[in-house]
Chains A and B, each alone.
Chain A
Amino acid sequence: MAGKKKMLDWYFWRPRLSTLSTHLVLFLAALFIASPIIFAVIKSTQSTAQISTYPPQFGIGSSMAENYKVAWQRYNLGRLMVNTFGVAISVMVGKTILSLLAALALVYFDFRFKGLIFIFILVTLMMPVPVRIVPLFKFVSSLGWGNTFWALTVPFLASATGTFLFRQHFMSIPTSLVDAARVDGVGPMRFLWQILLPMSMNTVGAMAVIEFVYLWNQYLWPLIIISSNKNQMIQMGVKQLTVSGPEGMVHWGISMAGVVITMLPPLIMFILLQEQFMRGFALTEEK
């Protein structure tokens, strides 16, 4: 009789323990990953005196408003973020349009050299900025685009990834749709706009997240091509955060405030679009 009861207990508790341990591990993992950020946020509220104490203080400090205000003004974060938004939106829209058009051409038409052109586009995946940076710099400068919006946007308007993704996606759409469209006298551009595009919103959303994050985080290219502070992109503001300020040293509270401000937009973008991101991008094997 006693043995039976024990068995009951075990089968009762085992799955619950398993769930509990899963929660625990996940919670700890999330905490571990987030802890540097948590630390940064806490420190962004502290004053220099509070930061300089040893052992370190982990409570909310007293200088939050002050730190954020100074960070915003001293590093001109507002201006930099506006510039970066402008560039990001333009490139996102441009890239999406160009990729949609390219995929449309490659999937729904027949023409000479189609295969070659596709390879021509794909091969650019092997050409990240650093392998062409010096001539690109010279070329863009000689166009008179040094320190301009054009330099930050035009070189990035073509996308092999986007073309590839949309092409894959289009190829998985039933061909009956195209036949129906042709029967109805719908031209290719209307077909793209009214039929293909609404069906591709997951991919569009995923690309939007990827591109926004990529452009928001641009570092090397703006570093060398933009020379005036008012045209600069946001990551160059981040670069300044670890350079000593007028006090002759780095004020970590202000720096962390700058960091928090800088990371909010891509974070928000990511949270808003995370469903599309997961769906549009991460499924490497299409069913």
Chain B
Amino acid sequence: MKRVLVIVMLGLLVFSGLVLAQEKTKVVFWHAMSGTREALIQRMVDNFNLTHPGIEVVAEYKGSYRDTLNAAQAAAVAGNAPNVLHSFEVGTQQLLDMGIFALAQDVIDQYGVVIPWQDYLEPALNYYKIGGVQASFPWNSSNSILYYNKTLLDKAGVTMPREPTFEDIVAISRAVINAGVAEGGITWPMHSWFFEQWMAELGANLLNNDNGRSGYATEINLLDPAAVTIMNWWKQLYDEGLWINPGRESWSQARQNFTTQRVAMMISSTSDVNLTQNAAFDGGWEVGTAFMPVPLGFDRHGVVIGGGSLWLTKGHSDAEMKAAAEFVVYMSQVAQDITWHQSTGYFALRKTSLQALDLEGWYKLHPNYKTASDQLAESQISTATQGALSGVFPDIRTYIEDAAEEVYGGASVTDALTKAKGLIDQALVDYKELMGG
């Protein structure tokens, strides 16, 4: 009798243990932010788990944006996709076509969570709006800005205007090199993203069919005067030794070139503000920021949202979907928005955040953080600045970067762009056929 009792007690203990263990709804969150940002995300996640005892969010860094997207696809095939996926902006078309994600608006409607969209910066929302419906939750938004080493520019006797031109950059680079204060004038990662930003700035659609927004694109506008101008400028800077090549898609090497004062200027994402300011402080120099340079003779049209957004996958239990939605809501709250903005440089997405920081006078002390938002606020609304939508962005970026490398290697701009256009057009048409569009 005693033995039976003991067994029953043990059984109950185990059973209750299992029940308790299952009480927490698990939400798997995959993201592409490394280094200090990864630690920051972990702190935010820990805070969420503490304040939401029934939910356990597990955040995992999956590598680059490309790696994260690939991991998500593999997981989808294997049937264990994460609840929340952080994806870069150019993955949007692919994620839509994959069919495994729940549209943001649907999630909001179905699970009754509250997100005040009207408080958001419009361009950030618009990028991820498909056919008027919000598809994903904007999270880390950026655009590219110009960083410059005020100290070095002073030494060379030049100043940076708020809205520089290509010609300004050339002049400043030459001045800095001739004055012997730096090895090179400017650097930026050899990445197609900057090409895309400049296309928007010059008011040109990257792709046809309204930048892929009114239907699957079938052509890339690489022989457009804007595209040719951009590539010619890149070539000029390289040939004259004014631009230092940090390597293909090499954000860290570009940063290193700038923070070690090897170059006087850098074009990079606004998410590097925090990093560069710290480096400048350590190194005893001053960093300033300005808008993207534009060639003389072209109007300034504005920039495209970069960075990424959060997507929720379908096919989970209601409890999990609700928990995931709550997590996303939490990440979009003003407190988190401000923390994220101040610790990185990704801009504050919420108007409330901007107002709060303005009132505090924070932007007076940290003007570099405001540059990207200003640049965005002054952007015109058009399909060019809304950003291109395409399922073959990996190809587009590879071929554009190949073209740039060929141009640096001595090929003519027209040849390189024509070749890239041929390959990309075919990829676009193939994709459209495959999707049955």
Contact = CB atoms under 8 A, between A and B. Distances in A.
Do A and B come together as binding partners?
Answer: yes
Interface of A: 137-138, 141-142, 144, 146-147, 224, 227-229, 244-246, 248-249
Contacts of B296: none
A244 B249 CA distance: 13
B74 A141 contact: yes
Contacts of B60: 228-229
A144 B75 CA distance: 10
Given A146-B78, A146-B80, A227 B255 contact: no
Interface string B256-283: 1001000000000000000100010000
A224 B253 CA distance: 26
A246 B75 contact: no
A52 B279 CA distance: 18
Interface of B: 35-36, 60-62, 71, 74-75, 77-80, 252-253, 255-256, 259, 275, 279
A227 B74 CA distance: 9
29 contacts: A137-B74, A141-B74, A141-B77, A142-B77, A142-B78, A144-B78, A144-B79, A144-B80, A146-B77, A146-B78, A224-B74, A227-B62, A227-B75, A228-B60, A229-B60, A244-B252, A244-B253, A244-B256, A245-B35, A246-B35, A246-B36, A248-B35, A248-B252, A248-B255, A248-B256, A248-B275, A248-B279, A249-B253, A249-B256
Given A245-B35, A246-B36, A248-B255, A146 B75 contact: yes
A146 B74 contact: yes
A141 B78 contact: yes
B220 to A, nearest CB: 27
Nearest to B30: A227
B275 to A, nearest CB: 7
A81 to B, nearest CB: 21
B63 to A, nearest CB: 9
Contacts of A224: 74
A244 B78 CA distance: 31
Max count, chain A CB within 10 A of own CB: residue among B62, B71, B78: B78
A137 B79 CA distance: 14
Contacts of B62: 227
A127 to B, nearest CB: 22
A147 to B, nearest CB: 8
Given A227-B71, A229-B60, A248-B259, 20 more contacts: A137-B74, A141-B74, A141-B77, A142-B77, A142-B78, A146-B75, A147-B78, A224-B74, A227-B62, A228-B60, A244-B252, A244-B253, A244-B256, A246-B35, A246-B36, A248-B255, A248-B275, A248-B279, A249-B252, A249-B256
B320 to A, nearest CB: 19
4 A-B pairs closest in CB distance: A146-B78, A244-B252, A141-B78, A246-B35
Nearest to B76: A141
A245 B35 CA distance: 7
Contacts of A229: 60-61
A54 to B, nearest CB: 14
Contacts of A245: 35
A146 B74 CA distance: 8
Nearest to B82: A227
Contacts of A146: 74-75, 77-78, 80
Contact of A138 (B77, B256, B279): B77
Contacts of A144: 78-80
Nearest to B276: A248
A249 B262 CA distance: 14
Contacts of B35: 245-246, 248
A229 B68 CA distance: 13
Contacts of A138: 77
Contacts of A248: 35, 252, 255-256, 259, 275, 279
B339 to A, nearest CB: 19
A147 B36 CA distance: 26
Contacts of A142: 77-78
A233 B14 CA distance: 34
Contacts of A246: 35-36
Contacts of A147: 78
Max count, chain A CB within 10 A of own CB: residue among B62, B252, B279: B252
Nearest to B61: A229
A227 B60 CA distance: 10
Contacts of B256: 244, 248-249
Nearest to A52: B260
Max count, chain A CB within 10 A of own CB: residue among B35, B74, B75, B253: B74
A137 B70 CA distance: 13
Contacts of B253: 244, 249
A48 to B, nearest CB: 12
A39 to B, nearest CB: 23
A137 B73 CA distance: 12
Contacts of B71: 227
B29 to A, nearest CB: 13
Contacts of A228: 60
Contacts of B255: 248
B266 to A, nearest CB: 12
A229 B67 CA distance: 13
Contacts of A244: 252-253, 256
Nearest to B39: A246
A141 B60 CA distance: 20
Nearest to B60: A228
